[in-house]
Amino acid sequence: MDPVTVVYKSDARRGAVWHGVFAAEAPDLALVDWSPEAAAGARYLVAWTPPGDLARAMPALSVLFNLGAGVDHLSSAAIGEAVSLVRMVDPELTRSMVEYVLLAVLAQHRDLPAYVEAQRDGRWEARPVRRAADHTVGILGLGVLGKAAAAALAGLGFPVRGWSASPKAIDGIETFAGRAALPCFLHGVRSLVCLLPLTDDTRGILDAALFAALPEGAGLVNVGRGGHLVEADLAAALDSGRLASAVLDVLAAEPPPAAHPLFAHPRVIATPHVASTTHPATAARQVIEAVRRHRDGLPMANVVDRTRGY
């Protein structure tokens, strides 16, 4: 039986790792780099940015494997209803997101943004050292990444709450579901972490009304998408002291334009969308398993529900 062709369209350096894993572990599959000729008859594509004319370029496409966890950059119309969209759920991507959320929440809990600002201004000013037990963390989104971050924070002694679309029961985490429960969830949260997918329902959720429901001096951590945040509302909340600091891994425009009010803000720590990335070796193994399952007529994991948008 001829090997099944899987087309890879992404970074060549990471692609070398993908090729190594496929060659060593999947003789039944042939990973080929993107070219119009290779793509023409192939049923499987691995990409973060598929070609604009996907239906014409890959008329036989059955499954698009997205190289990241979020799929908001992919237009459903451009992919076509007949194509299954599989998002990345990778243990290494989860691990690096947990590290980043811990880093950000610990920085806020221990007043690091204020200390960095004070140092820049030449001020030596100690603040009270508080207990983790008095710093409630709220996580918007209790999916793969939100649940892992919640467990790690709870392990450090933070009281942790999570908010999701559907109700959940998770040991050691207080859970809330649906819009009506949002004010209750926000009440008393000292660090709010956004790990939602960007959809029509969640766009702009981090706005002035939400900040007003947090206690004065709370911190925001946005590791979801820039589209979750109303940037002008955050700038106003930081300037008025309603929020003490923000850690932003994502912005509406990446990179931000020069003199961006949040990128330049003294109480914002901003990173260039690096909270977590797909690890090529473990991701390649996920795709190998999924292609084999699809080829054998079995259901695949992590298929995006196109009506929900995540």
Q: Which does 193 bind (CB under 5 to 8 A by kind): ligand GLV, ligand NAP, none?
A: none
Strand order in the sheet with 44-47: 29-33, 4-9, 44-47, 63-66, 84-86
Task: Please give the Cα distance from 250 to 265 (Å, whole number).
Answer: 15
**Cβ distance 194 to 141 under 8 Å?**
yes
Instruction: From the candidates 225, 228, 242, 294, give the one annotated as an active-site residue.
Output: 225
Q: Whose Cβ is closer to ligand NAP: residue 130's or residue 179's? A: 179
- Determine phi and psi for 125, rounding to 5 degrees: -135, 110
Q: Are 188 and 215 in contact (CB under 8 A)?
A: yes
Question: Cα separation of 6 and 27, whole Å?
Answer: 12
267 is catalytic: no
From 203, 273, 285, 306, active-site residue: 273
Non-local CB neighbours of 148 within 8 Å, separated by 6+ positions: 94, 95, 97, 98
> Which DSSP state fits 43?
S
Decide which of ligand NAP, ligand GLV, none touches 195; Cβ closer than 5 to 8 Å per partner kind: ligand NAP
Q: Which residue among 20, 51, 68, 227 contacts ligand GLV (CB under 6 A)? A: 68
Q: Which of 69, 139, 210, 269 binds ligand GLV (CB under 6 A)?
A: 69
- Please tell me whether residue 91 binds ligand GLV under the rule CB under 6 A: no
Q: At closest approach, how far in Å is the CB of 238 from ligand NAP?
A: 20
Q: Which tokens belong to 82?
A: 């007949």
Binding region for ligand NAP (CB under 6 A)? 68-70, 97, 141-146, 163-166, 195-199, 201-202, 223-225, 249-250, 273, 275-276, 310
Compute the least distance from the CB of residue 197 to ligand GLV, in Å: 9
273 is catalytic: yes
| 198 interacts with ligand GLV by CB under 6 A | no
Catalytic positions are: 225, 273
